[in-house]
Amino acid sequence: MFVKGELRLLWRFYLYRFIEHILGMAALLWTVYFAAKGFSYAEIGLGLAVLSAGTFLFEVPTGAVADIKGRRFSVSLGYAIVAVVSATAPFLSSLAALCALFLLWSVAMTLVSGADVAWVVDHLREHDREDLVGTFYARESSFMHAGVIIAGLTLTGLLMVFRDGPRFLAMDKVWFVQAAGMALVALIVITIPEHRERKIVTASSTFHFSKEGFRHVMGEKTLRPLFISSIFFSFSLATWSFAYQPFLVGAGLSIADLGWARSAASIGGIVAGLLAARLTKKENQFAVLGFLFILLMLIFVSVPLTGHVLQGFLFYLVISFIGYTIFPLEGALPHKFIPSEMRATIGSIKSMFESGGYILAPLIAGVLIDRSGTQPAILLAGAFLLPVIGIYFKLGRKRIRTS
């Protein structure tokens, strides 16, 4: 199952991602959780927009810090902050507090994003095993989904055991479990070796790394359209991610059912990860992703056909499977065009591009769900895949002409 030398080099990276997804279970219900706490979907959308705006603001500086100070420092600090955020969430009672929490969460996310992948790629390069980069993306996806399977079943079990009390809801207690889990992940991360010389962080060096990263992205004829497409894909993805929990509850599932439903989707995610590993061998990755985006769009626009709980559940499973196939392919592809010394910074720039979609999507989706339900929001998610499809097929045709 594993490539020779893969586990020796990557087992600790797989381990912390596995544990992160087992114990990061609050994310499986967070939209309906905040709705149960009394926030409207428009208010929740505003909080998520603040999170994405924070990601936009902090992504490049924190990416440069990871390149200069070290990936291990950045990633471990990020998970420690998530632990604090999780322990604080049950005490929220105002929109201002919700927005402040999401802003702090954005700092944690940016400390991890880009740095975690750059750490792995440089680790493999140090051992002359860059051939394992595509394998890592696909295999990591399978480990993550295995963790979510356990998390979903555990979540359902905890919500059957936990009871609402005078101070904390049953769902509040899930956040405390997540806080302990993220603290454990931070401890695991600091045990992983890093093959990189640390440098002193200065404002000028941070600006230099960021400027050079932007220059490379704008000058690289493949990276530029890929990063533009990521804005539209992130809008589609963020809209679906915001809408799917109230969609399933509206279709007839209980909040506790969201746990096992996510576990079922993640079983498909493991299969999707194996499929993605095979698809990474295909020569024209742009065309492969273009066809997958077409399929995803067709499923999104079929949402009005869903009428009861079984149809809604199957709809959710199919979208999850296609998305889980796309993620490792779409994530690995830009790294073919990124130099090692800029890998974390440019990874953070990509996340910054994606923040544009993540800022707008929850604002629009929240209002749509409050006024008209989840179906119009999901149709909008499908519409925003059209430019993504166009960009990938255009790049695919260019590759055919140049090969």
pLDDT > 80? residue 385:
yes
pLDDT for 197: 54
User: Any residues with CB less than 8 A from the CB of 17 and at least 6 apart, and which?
Assistant: 140, 143, 144, 147
Give whole-number Cα distances, 79 to 16, 20, 102, 340, in Å: 11, 9, 14, 24
pLDDT > 60? residue 203:
no
pLDDT for 399: 66
Between these two residues, 158 and 118, which has the higher pLDDT value?
158
pLDDT for 221: 75
Report the interhelical angle of 223-251 vs 257-279 (nearest 10°): 150
pLDDT for 341: 63
User: Any residues with CB less than 8 A from the CB of 42 and at least 6 apart, and which?
Assistant: 363, 366, 367, 370
pTM above 0.85, yes or no: no
Give residue-wise pLDDT tens across range 30-42.
899 999 999 999 9
pLDDT for 123: 78
Tokens 């101070």 belong to residue: 167
pLDDT > 60? residue 103:
yes
CA angle 395, 399, 400 (to 5 degrees): 120
- What totals of helices (H) and strands (E) does the chain contain, helices first? 16, 0
- Flag the least confident range among 36-40, 52-56, 141-145, 273-277: 141-145
For residues 162 and 173, give the distance between their C-alpha atoms in angstroms, rounded to a whole number. 7
For residues 34 and 183, give the distance between their C-alpha atoms in angstroms, rounded to a whole number. 23
1 exposure class (CB count in 10 Å sphere: 0-12, 13-18, 19+): exposed
pLDDT > 60? residue 84:
yes
**380 touches 300 (CB < 8 A):** no
* pLDDT average, residue stretch 113-123: 79
Tell which phi-psi region holds residue 311, choosing left (phi > 0), alpha (psi between -120 and 50) or beta. Answer: alpha
Q: Where are the domains of the chain?
A: 6-402
User: Any residues with CB less than 8 A from the CB of 112 and at least 6 apart, and which?
Assistant: 74, 75, 78, 79
Reported as a pLDDT band with limits 50, 70 and 90, residue 196 is low
Reported as a pLDDT band with limits 50, 70 and 90, residue 124 is confident
Give residue-wise pLDDT tens across range 150-178.
999 999 999 999 988 888 889 999 999 99
CA angle 60, 42, 228 (to 5 degrees): 35
pLDDT for 169: 86
**10 touches 120 (CB < 8 A):** yes
Overall residue count recorded for the chain in this entry: 403
Q: What percent of the chain has pLDDT over 70?
A: 89
Give the DSSP per-residue string, 303-365.
Answer: GGG--SHHHHHHHHHHHHHHHHHHHHHHHHGGGGGS-GGGHHHHHHHHHHHHHHHHHHHHHHH
pLDDT for 210: 60
- Flag the least confident range among 101-105, 120-124, 176-180, 230-234: 120-124
* pLDDT average, residue stretch 72-91: 94
* pLDDT average, residue stretch 37-50: 95
Mean pLDDT of the chain: 85
Give whole-number Cα distances, 156 to 153, 170, 256, 262, in Å: 5, 11, 5, 10
Give residue-wise pLDDT tens across range 284-306.
888 899 999 999 999 999 887 77
Between these two residues, 252 and 213, which has the higher pLDDT value?
252
Between these two residues, 281 and 231, which has the higher pLDDT value?
231
Tokens 């505003």 belong to residue: 46
Q: 6-402 falls under which CATH superfamily?
A: MFS general substrate transporter like domains (1.20.1250.20)
pLDDT for 168: 87
pLDDT for 134: 74
Give residue-wise pLDDT tens across range 317-328.
999 999 989 988
Tokens 């061998």 belong to residue: 281
Q: What percent of the chain has pLDDT over 90?
A: 46
Q: Which of 91-105, 195-209, 280-294 has the highest mean pLDDT?
A: 91-105
* pLDDT average, residue stretch 380-397: 91
pLDDT for 400: 66
Tokens 């007839």 belong to residue: 252
Strand, helix or coil at 113? coil
pLDDT > 90? residue 202:
no
Handedness of CA 371, 357, 102, 28 (dihedral sign): positive
**39 touches 242 (CB < 8 A):** no
pLDDT for 95: 96
pLDDT > 80? residue 208:
no
